[in-house]
Amino acid sequence: MGVQNQTRVVEFVFLGFSGIPNSHLYLFLPFLAVYLVTVLGNLTIFTLIQLDSSLQSPMYYFLSHLSCLDICTSSVTVPKILMNFLYQQQTITYNECMAQMFFLMSFTGIEGALLAIMAYDRYAAICKPLHYSHLMNLKLCAVLAFATWVWGLLNSALHTALSSRLRFCGVNQIHHIFCDIPPLMKISCNDVHINQLVTHIASLFVGVAPFLFTILSYVFILCSILKIRSTTGKQKAFSTCASHLTVVIVYFGNALINYNRPSAGYSLETDTLVSTMFCIIPPMLNPLIYSLRNKEVKGALKKVLESQRKQ
């Protein structure tokens, strides 16, 4: 049963796919395809930014960090899901669960902060074009990117430390497809009020604050775009932030659904679908959004492909 002394759980069992008979037969290939598209797509975006001189701007500097985050986020959950499909057992050890939760929370928290910084970058480019090079200089970009990583890691370390103090009294079945704070608190047999309080407070800084900052940035951006007289100028200004705005809607929209849905009234299948939409699908969509809606990225990809053909 994976229990030591009837209190210490050393292994958890995921029930997220328990309602799907022979799930390993039907879901292995789709999850593998999503993971491969995620890794290859984000790796392509990252490589293009490093190779093409036309993509050496703050926006693409932050985009390269976003691509790394998407690869990391997907790699925290999907390989373990694929391994469980292969071995036909939905299990994870206690230590692996804590590690998975730590890195998953780190990367998703970093992404929220990074998207807020990217929104500020678009604000500076559109609303303060004459001061853009000063507002978003290389040193500041590096400091901001570093700060987002430190912020996400510290926030996750706090939650993981609190979660490691939870006791499960022999209950080792998680109604989820990966380790996360809400499902672990749900099966804990000791007091979780401190965990819940810290989770709610942290969500204000890690989730709500970046979201509101992003919305505020786009309010100013929209006001500036509306002041542009020519239709061509408006379209050009909006096109510079359309990809980022799409990614913001996908990320924060899925986060809102995932972490603010009612604790009761949802089936296990619905919870599994919502969790998949939040942690697995967005990392795959981000490189597609930036490659399909961004002329500079498409141009850089075209140049690389043409150079390969000539060789």
Per-residue pLDDT reduced to its tens digit, 78-113 = 999 999 888 888 899 999 999 999 999 999 999 999
Say which range, 17-26, 55-64, 177-186, has the weakest mean pLDDT.
17-26
Q: Which residues contact 101 (CB under 8 A, 6 or more apart)?
A: 156, 159, 160, 163, 179, 180, 181, 184
Looking at residue 219, its pLDDT comes to 92
* CA–CA distances in Å: residue 212 to residues 221, 248, 252: 14, 12, 11
Say which range, 133-137, 160-164, 295-299, has the weakest mean pLDDT.
295-299
End-to-end alpha-carbon separation of the chain, Å? 59
β-sheet bridge partners, residue 134: none
- Give the pLDDT band (50/70/90) at residue 5: very low
AA identity, residue 141: C
Do 35 and 196 touch, CB atoms closer than 8 A? no
Phi/psi for 60 (5° steps) reads: -80, -25
Looking at residue 292, its pLDDT comes to 64
Looking at residue 273, its pLDDT comes to 72
% pLDDT > 90, the chain: 35
Task: Tell me the pLDDT of the chain averaged across its residues.
Answer: 84
Say which range, 4-8, 23-27, 32-36, 183-187, has the weakest mean pLDDT.
4-8
Looking at residue 263, its pLDDT comes to 55
Say which range, 1-15, 181-195, 259-273, has the weakest mean pLDDT.
259-273
> Is residue 266's pLDDT more than 60?
no
